[in-house]
Amino acid sequence: FSFSIGDLADEKAVETIFTEFEPDIFVNLAAQAGVRYSLENPKAYIDSNVVGFFNVLEALRKHKVCHLVYASSSSVYGNQEKTPFSVTDNVDNPVSLYAATKKTNELMAYTYSHLYGIPSTGLRFFTVYGPFGRPDMAYYSFTNRIFKGETIKVFNHGDLYRDFTYIDDIIEGVVNVMYSQPKADEKGVQHKVYNIGNNKPVNLLLFIETLERIIGIEAKKEFVPMQKGDVYQTYADVSDLERDFGFRPDTPIEEGLGKFVDWYREYYNV
């Protein structure tokens, strides 16, 4: 294992990594993530998710990598009403810049697969949670504020649904996919997209109640309207993933949150 600090938007840094390691498989999970921050700092999303991803694709082209696996996002589905979300659904109406950059990644990867024969697989992650997650994610900030006795903001007055997916299921999905190049489509292009989600949307208020029960503290709540760029629901159709790899995420929210809270208590000594 080797850890290098760098920025995907730095072309030379990306090229150095490829030259040093000459990977056969490249898994790109690096990005500027999050819907709400994209409203505050849109340039960061273009630099990392568009320019950075372009630098990765160019390095892949030059170094003849066998398979690219990259993180897309459930946000590409926007505010569509049809559920569950299928990879065959139209995703041409993103409601945040973050979502637009992830759709852009899928288009760029397909183009490089078509032009240069780079096999690539995009994974649309659905509301990932678990230990060592992003502190700005709702489950993490809720936990932090509940322990501190601070008020949590409940968007859309709690009328939201998320297909919460535990990190271990995400990792298992990535590992399942990375060792298998996608089959060529009818045009001969080796590019495929899969959903990785729990296939069980959870109401936000039920999620908070579960977290309160596990922690043993009732949250102080402020009910507020829907945030710009947010979506009402996420719900993954994982039938393609199950068909091709015999795998589907299945960690119940009670189990996943329990593991996260156990980690949080130990990590922060609370």
CATH number of the domain within which 69 lies: 3.40.50.720
Q: What is the per-residue pLDDT for 22? A: 95
Provide the pLDDT confidence category of residue 117 given band limits of 50, 70 and 90. very high
Q: What is the per-residue pLDDT for 228? A: 86
* 3 state SS of 215: helix
Note the Cα 119 to chain centre separation in Å: 20
Provide the pLDDT confidence category of residue 2 given band limits of 50, 70 and 90. confident
Q: Is residue 90 part of a domain?
A: yes
Q: What is the per-residue pLDDT for 226? A: 92
Note the Cα 97 to chain centre separation in Å: 15
Domain span at residue 242 reads 11-268
Q: What is the per-residue pLDDT for 259? A: 99
Tell me the per-residue pLDDT of 209-232, one tens digit each, with 9 for 90 and over: 999 999 999 999 999 999 888 899
Percent of the chain with pLDDT over 90: 95
Q: What is the per-residue pLDDT for 59? A: 97
Distance of alpha carbon 184 from alpha carbon 151, whole angstroms: 51
Q: What is the per-residue pLDDT for 125? A: 98
Which pTM value belongs to this model? 0.96
Q: Is residue 5 part of a domain?
A: no
Q: Is residue 169 part of a domain?
A: yes
CB 191 within 8 A of CB 184: no
Q: Is residue 161 part of a domain?
A: yes
Q: What is the per-residue pLDDT for 195? A: 99
Q: Is residue 4 part of a domain?
A: no
Distance of alpha carbon 128 from alpha carbon 192, whole angstroms: 21
Provide the pLDDT confidence category of residue 205 given band limits of 50, 70 and 90. very high
Domain count, the chain: 1
Average pLDDT over every residue of 56-79: 96
Distance of alpha carbon 38 from alpha carbon 61, whole angstroms: 29
Q: Which residues are part of the catalytic machinery?
A: 98
Two tokens, residue 94: 């993103």
Provide the pLDDT confidence category of residue 18 given band limits of 50, 70 and 90. very high
Q: Is residue 6 part of a domain?
A: no
